[in-house]
Structure 1
């Protein structure tokens, strides 16, 4: 009986065990499905050979387990090997794979650590390409080197010793600047600035070293360090490239044309320096895809591909505070937001006061105080902010959508009161300057050799001012608006490894409004203009790395609807490496511009921002056209860099009101041209952690206005000689820069005598010598900056910066003009000076 009971117990246990086993089997699913589920939960990718995992069917791990716990579970259940690559990619392989003659690896962009798809991997006559995760496998038939190449990236050679490692390789490719071109000179002036084979200067603010006077990677201040680019007004709202005016430069932010480029009326760049920008600056030979400018092109683009990892940063200096954040929304999508705001609402620092004095000297606001007799008081409020946002989303393997938005805003409110001869006079002044922009971009990769970019953009600019003379009950209102909408289509076709053909179409509609309104006496003027332009673009690029020849020939055909006019604009870029260290470059271009700035009256908008955007009308306001050619020599060896560039530039169709005359031509509106012939040089030497450079620029820049008595005279923006020097030390986390700049004075026009001409009693005037008959004194300034960066144990980075502009506090005169003082009945000599000694301090945190 006892024996029978034992049989029952054993039978029961056996059946129960089978039942449990059956239940486990019922919960078991294919390993491939488990891996796909883990991918979605932890935002990672598995790489495997289907034949090796198809045989496995197991109970999935609990979802509450961590990623590492799940991997350990799968390894025990399958005896497979799981190799974790940076918690992003996991290779799955068996003992058979380890023992085979295969190699595997991942290819990433060094710029943002993103995986690269369709990278060419060559190995002893065999080859393959990476998948969407940047992963590849290749049979190791013979020991040799591996060649990794990808369009837009520098080709990399992997040595034999690296291939002996059984683990998958991690290969990082360096981006070739602009995604297309090789670099001729790296560390141009400092780290983060490069000179490329197509004649473009490329700036990477995130990698930017340090420059004299700068503690943050200010886009436009950095631009002013390049030979041939300067500002006679010490303002980034008045950047002169080879003698041109500021409005003749094309400023693009993620494909959006920007009509406002500075805060504080030109003392601070309007573009957040802490975004992951790539800035391309072209002085000549610009791509045919760029129109609407007769001078340089400044193309700023924040990175749309950096979707891996979240980041945060915040900083403050003695002018503004900023914040930056980027976070992943989906596997292939991220949102990036950045903003800056002035701190003058809370505290007025010494830096703010120096900037304020520089921006508002000799304006109608400060002149109001000159009439004071007994009492004078002023309540001033000035602030600015800018906000940028980007949403990037990849869909599948071939489509990529990006939306960009930017807003820039400056506000000035000044209430002034003074008592003159027992009479109280008050003014309430308000000025707003705004620029909004949005761009929707769609990139489609049709196949390995064909891709397209489609953009729809809009840019809106507005400048409003209102002056209220309280005692007279007079209100003066001024307004300047621009609305710029457009569509761009660009196609790229890789014909061969050496030749690429690009073509496209652009449509652009620009509307401007200029308004002047006075309530007493009643005056009202409102002018609205609209121009629509179509453009067809073709471009062929030949780049032979063996013969060291780069050749790009492009053409742009513009059609302006209103004038029924066609404009043909050829473009040329040529570079030949004569030797390993010596390059010859030839650039040329024809360009045109329909929208530019003029000055009706020097006192418009209180004399602070007196320029108005207008449109060409084809007659009294012609289309501006330019032609330019240059030939350059580049020599690099043993950390020496030497550049020499000769150029010729001519711009026709300029209107005198666009040149800022403050002499006998101030109220005369005539058309003419200017012609520039110049030389630009740079000598640079890098010694370990120290870089020093000396640059020189010369230009002979003259106007030609045929309808005046002396038709040829010096350009208002002519600086005969410009010399800059810097010494930069960078080691580990410490950066120090000391530099100076010297240039000959800008032209001015002097009166013939100190007596006022009353030949027309209702309109007294000043009798002048010939235009720009004299030059101001030489300009000289020394600047210093230093930064130090450190990192805490929890990977938070801190950065402290200190700078001093105009170390020796030199009083440099940057402008001089003359006006009639109606109170004293005399001619006043009005001078404008550069910034005096201005310190700045910054602190930044990033993680």
Structure 2
């Protein structure tokens, strides 16, 4: 692997810059006045005192991580000075007054962060809780023993020591066993956790900050996880362990999403205000989920409780949004969100950069390169999305949900020219939209037994009209999906350590593809339908000490149209070796009957050129995958190290689904790909700083037995990927600087610079071995900052700033060759990544 300067800088960012920022407090005796000035600045308070009272006092400064009240006790014990606090003003005066002896302490976790709302139990079950700084104090004459408890930490028994001169520092140890699901809290950022069932959880409401992000965009955030990326930096082309985007299953409240991006992939189609929990599975997927051979992204905005009424309005440099949660009663709630771009009215720099990136090398921009005709073109683009949820709780643990979601992208493109006789204009357009809804009922019993039933349906369609001035041809294309079904789930504990989960699912999917043109009387239209019945069952088992957790499942599928029956086993096991080490084994078999194909590179204006199609058990088979992985996690004193080794094979892929732009373009063949590799993450937290470095290596190869060269690198192979970040969090301020480097994707080069001519006299490119060359490596530095200002109780103003590609590096993310229709020469076409792109956010929450 050749490491360029950018890659070296990325590594230095993690290993050299961070430690220099994290110096320890100096331990030397200094004047009390200087100490008070530092304390006042850090805690935003004001001291009042007489100079003669503090003159002559020189002490070692208290540790910077101490809460304010503990620092005051620390100073009192060394100087004899007394303090009286009123709001943010603290009066200092001399003369030791008779004091009641107190026991004071403050709680932190293993990396020094204060622990809020920990329960301190003393004398006859009396309780107090710690404040935001982790501080607490108790009156005199108490028992010798206190009991401290907090969810997620090991309970602690403390013996009170009234002879201790200062407030005690008590460290609580994170208990990975006390939580049913979480193995690792704060994986890359606040709000991201690694789960014991092999998946990852993202909670947008608790989300911290990642480089380049100013909002909790789940589809952009998940690309920071090892093994997940995007070969063209979009959310509509997410590649998980070498797979294509259509091999991922995206669910929103049980509704399958076929459209995941705005701006044709540069922005997530999911409103960042939503999402109470998001789960991502790369392997070891629960048997409940089917119809995907790669990952599962399950987004749920359903909360178990009726939240308090709240709202927010905000805007960035692309769109404005609004969100509200309305508590109608103790058992009834409504949640609404809406977002719309203003790119059809205002052109901020962010829109201009996005526009340059997404429309390059398409019919929308290539007209500007014409030298023969005086073409003029103009485009108008906008998007919107909305969601709605009604939540009703009934007696007996019954809950009812209604959900609706809508997503839309719209592009109108006008081109015109002036001829000798008149003005000629043509209007082209692209409309991409999703509309879905469901109704769900759940019932929970006190003994952890639950049952659920949901009915859902969604419609996705993309329509394009391409009107050409040169040929006077008008082409209309249409791709529509209707997906509907029902889910029935049942979960019940069999014993104290064994739980059984089962489900029945029915799904029907219809697809309509239509193409027509004004110069040809005939049009093509294909309609397809598939019905799938699925029955799943799995057993969860954990030992009494919770050192072992395992889930063994099986999913049975039956496709009515093909009379095809097959089973898919699933396995997940997590074993805790000691308090710091865990090992994990995951395995699965999965399948999918729905996929995206590219028939022609200029379909749908060349922007959304993929169309959905169904398996026909012939030239488009049902795709099937096998995957296994083994990994380990180490966590201790702010360090987190994870490593995963995986093997994955997918059969039944088609050439159309792999978006070839070489000698294989237009061919119809089926084959497979095999990918194996390693994913590694190291993360360290130093009080207000934390940093991480992730590395992924994989080998991804095709096997098409009908091709002259049957085995060659995949179009989606990224052999090496390095992500790194340094994050600083202080009170309401968050700063993140990170880098992303990966080796270039493969491409096929021509054998010579001159075309070859076939029997019909048409020029063509003669290609060399497929994917034998690689584009130069990708390197990008990103920055983001967030600051939250509390205006009043429950009134917050959030300000954010992000800069993508800080150094404005010109990264090539795709390369192919084509014949220039005017000169008949071979020309190389490069697609470039985003240039330096700023964005800003303002959001008011109340």
Same fold, TM-score > 0.5, yes or no: yes
**SS of residue paired to 2:265:** coil
Q: Which residue of the partner structure matches residue 211 of structure 1?
A: 210
What residue is the counterpart of 1:543 in the other structure?
Answer: 542
Q: Residues 661 and 414 of structure 1: is their aligned pair in 2 closer, same or farther, counting only changes over 3 Å?
A: same
Paired residues of 1:724 and 1:739 also in contact (CA < 8 A) = yes
Gaps of 5+ in 1: 1-123, 125-141, 163-174
After superposition, residues 400-419 of structure 1 pair within 5 angstroms as 400-419=399-418
Residue 377 of structure 1 is matched in structure 2 by 376
What does residue 787 of structure 2 align with? 788
> Is the 1:722–1:744 contact (alpha carbons within 8 Å) kept by the matching residues of 2?
yes
User: How far off is 1:373 after superposition?
Assistant: 3.5
Between stretches 760-769 and 189-198, larger displacement belongs to 760-769
What is aligned with 1:479?
478
Map residues 457-496 of structure 1 onto 2, 5 A cutoff.
Answer: 457-469=456-468, 474-496=473-495
Unpaired segments of 5 or more residues in structure 2? 1-123, 125-142, 161-173
Give the 3 Å change call, closer, same or farther, for CA 178–658 of structure 1 in structure 2: farther
SS of corresponding position for 2:224: coil
Contact 1:436 1:460 in 2 (8 A): yes
User: Which has the larger displacement, 392-401 or 361-370?
Assistant: 361-370
Matched, 1:354 2:353: yes
With over 3 angstroms needed to count, the CA separation of the structure-2 counterparts of 1:802 and 1:447, relative to structure 1, is: closer
In 1, Cα distance between equivalents of 2:235 and 2:777: 20
Query: Compared with structure 1, are the counterparts of its residues 826 and 545 closer, same or farther at alpha carbon in structure 2 (3 Å cutoff)?
Result: farther
1:636-651 mapped onto 2 (5 Å cutoff): 636-651=635-650
Mapping 1:383-782, distance limit 5 Å: 383-419=382-418, 426-446=425-445, 448-469=447-468, 474-544=473-543, 546-761=545-760, 763-782=762-781
CA distance in 2, matches of 1:179, 1:471: 69
State the alpha-carbon separation in 2 of the partners of residues 300 and 181 from structure 1.
20
Which residue number corresponds to residue 835 of structure 2? 836
* Deviation of the 1:764 alpha carbon: 3.1
Offset from partner CA, 1:689-737 (integer Å, 9 cap, x none)? 1011111100010000000111000000101110111000011000000
Contact 1:177/1:202 (<8 A) preserved: no
Contact 1:339 1:387 in 2 (8 A): yes
In structure 1, what is the equivalent of residue 821 of structure 2? Answer: 822
Provide the rounded CA distance (Å) in 2 between the counterparts of 1:366 and 1:179: 57
1:131-177 deviation digits (Å, cap 9, x = unpaired): xxxxxxxxxxx99999999xxx8698697999xxxxxxxxxxxx999
1:43-442 matched pairs, under 5 angstroms: 181-373=180-372, 375-419=374-418, 426-442=425-441
Larger mean Cα displacement after TM superposition, 431-440 or 539-548:
539-548
Q: Secondary structure at the match of 1:265?
A: helix
- Which structure has the larger Rg over C-alpha atoms? 1
1:757 deviation in Å? 1.4
Q: CA deviation at 1:792?
A: 1.1
SS in 2 for 1:190: coil
Range 751-760 or range 290-299, more displaced: 751-760
What are the superposed Cα offsets for residues 348-379 of structure 1, whole Å, 9 maximum, x if unpaired? 10000000110000002212232244633222
SS of corresponding position for 1:290: coil
Q: 1:651 and 1:208, CA in 2 relative to 1: closer, same or farther beyond 3 A?
A: same
* SS class of match (2:250): strand
Instruction: Assess if the C-alpha contact under 8 Å between 1:428 and 1:470 holds in 2.
Output: no
Instruction: Summarize deviations over 1:275-312 as a string: whole Å, max 9, x none.
Output: 24311111000000000000000011113324132001
What is the TM-score normalised by the length of structure 2?
Answer: 0.79
- Is the Cα contact below 8 Å between 1:305 and 1:392 reproduced in 2? no
- Preserved contact between residue 177 and residue 196 of structure 1 (Cα < 8 Å): no
Other structure's SS at 2:756 match: coil
The 10-residue stretch of structure 1 (666-675 or 359-368) with the greater mean CA deviation from structure 2: 359-368
Name the SS for the 1:736 alignment partner.
strand
Q: Partners of 2:591 and 2:294 in 1: how far apart?
A: 9
Deviation of the 1:639 alpha carbon: 0.5
Question: What is the CA deviation profile of residues 776-808 of structure 1, one whole-angstrom value per residue up to 9, with x for unaligned ones?
Answer: 001100000001101113531001001100000
Q: CA deviation at 1:331?
A: 2.2
Q: Distance in 2 between matches of 1:179 and 1:765?
A: 65
Q: CA deviation at 1:206?
A: 1.1
Q: Which has the higher contact order (CA 8 A, sep 6+)?
A: 2
| Matches of 1:178 and 1:462, distance apart in 2 | 46
* Alignment length (residue pairs): 694
In 2, Cα distance between equivalents of 1:261 and 1:446 = 36
Cα separation, partners in 2 of 1:752 and 1:177, compared to 1, 3 Å = farther
Change (3 A) 1:336 1:193: same
Structure 1 residue 567, shift from structure 2 partner? 1.4
Contact 2:359 2:607 in 1 (8 A): yes
For the structure 1 residues 321 and 161, does the alpha-carbon distance in structure 2 shift closer, same or farther, using more than 3 Å as the test?
Answer: farther
What secondary structure is seen at the aligned counterpart in 2 of 1:240?
Answer: strand
- Give, in angstroms, the shift of residue 827 of structure 1: 1.1
Task: Provide the C-alpha distance between the structure 2 equivalents of 1:564 and 1:594, rounded to a whole number of angstroms.
Answer: 14
| CA distance in structure 2 between the aligned counterparts of 1:334 and 1:182, rounded to whole angstroms | 27
Q: Please tell me whether the aligned partners of residues 176 and 182 of structure 1 are also in contact (alpha carbons under 8 angstroms).
A: no
Measure, in 2, the Cα distance between the counterparts of 1:156 and 1:828: 65
How far, CA to CA, are the matches of 1:578 and 1:658 in structure 2? 43
TM-aligned CA deviation for residue 208 of structure 1 = 1.0
Q: Structure 1 residue 271: deviation in Å? A: 0.2
Partners of 2:724 and 2:780 in 1: CA distance: 11
SS in 1 for 2:288: coil
Partners of 1:147 and 1:155 within 8 A in 2: no
Instruction: Check conservation: 1:231, 1:238, Cα contact below 8 A.
Output: yes
Separation in 1, partners of 2:404, 2:590:
28
CA distance in 2, matches of 1:178, 1:549: 10
Q: Report the Cα offset of residue 180 of structure 1.
A: 8.3
Paired residue secondary structure (2:734): strand
Instruction: Tell me: CA distance 1:230–1:618, structure 2 relative to 1, closer, same or farther (3 Å).
Output: same
Q: 1:374 touches 1:420 (CA, 8 Å); kept in 2? A: no
Output the CA distance in 1 between the equivalents of 2:448 and 2:193.
28
> Residue 785 of structure 1 aligns to a residue in which SS?
strand
* CA contact 2:501–2:539 (8 Å) conserved in 1: yes
Q: Secondary structure at the match of 2:815?
A: strand
Shift of 1:420: 7.6
Which residue number in structure 2 is paired with residue 62 of structure 1?
A: none
